[in-house]
Amino acid sequence: MATTILRPGNWAPDFVGKDQDGKTINLADYKGKKLILYFYPKDNTSGCTAEACSLRDGYEDLKNLGMEVLGVSPDSEKSHKNFIQKYSLPFRLIADENHEIAEKYGVRGEKKMYGKAYFGILRTTFVINEQGVITHVFNKVDTKEHVKQILSEINK
């Protein structure tokens, strides 16, 4: 399973990566802002597309609450750029091709498909506050209704 178990109240691990335009991005860029950091397995797959589109469609609601959105997957910068253009995504995506960020967040673990075990990205979303502390962790993501899921939980 996952290498690290992060829970609400933990400090979010710092990271450095490249976005879809090859620009360096890190957690410190979001200091003073609320951040939705979501990890997903692969661009242009049905579940990942549904999740990204849910976040796109609810983006203004999230922005109105002072939240930024940042996606992370093992796909390349080029793949992310195409994914963003194809679905008009208004947020940045990080290319985590070496799984370094996923490992820090404990979202790379054993999965099964057709009875075969393999290592992959465990779909997970972290809500991080202005100070860099994790406030919510979603590891049972409803891909089609993810924004509603997030808003419902943070409004409790």
Q: Look at residue 4 in the predicted model and tell me its pLDDT.
A: 61
d(Cα 94, Cα 104) in Å, to the nearest integer? 14
Backbone angles phi, psi at 154, to 5 degrees: -75, -20
**Residues with a known catalytic role:** 48
- pLDDT band of 47, cuts 50, 70, 90: very high
How are beta strands 16-19 and 124-128 bridged, if at all?
A: unpaired
Report pLDDT for 2.
Answer: 43
Residue 67 token pair: 């939240």
% of the chain exceeding 90 in pLDDT: 85
Tokens 């080029």 locate to: 78
Output DSSP code: residue 76. Answer: -
To the question of pTM greater than 0.95 for the whole model, the response is no
What does the pLDDT average to over 1-13? 80
For residue 121, what are the β-bridge partners? 108
pLDDT digits 0-9 by tens, 50-69: 999 999 999 999 999 999 99
Number of C-beta neighbours around residue 124 at 10 A: 23
Bridge partners of 112, per DSSP, are: 117
* pLDDT at residue 5, as a whole number: 80
What is the predicted pLDDT for the residue at 1?
Answer: 41
The set of residues, in sequence order, having a beta carbon less than 8 Å from that of 103 and lying 6+ positions away, is: 3, 4
* 78-102 pLDDT, tens digit each: 999 999 999 999 999 999 999 999 9
The per-residue pLDDT for range 96-121, each reduced to its tens digit, is 999 999 999 999 887 776 787 777 89
- For 53, the 3-state DSSP assignment is helix
Distance CA 140, CA 138 (A): 6
> Quick one: CA dihedral 62, 17, 74, 93, positive or negative?
positive
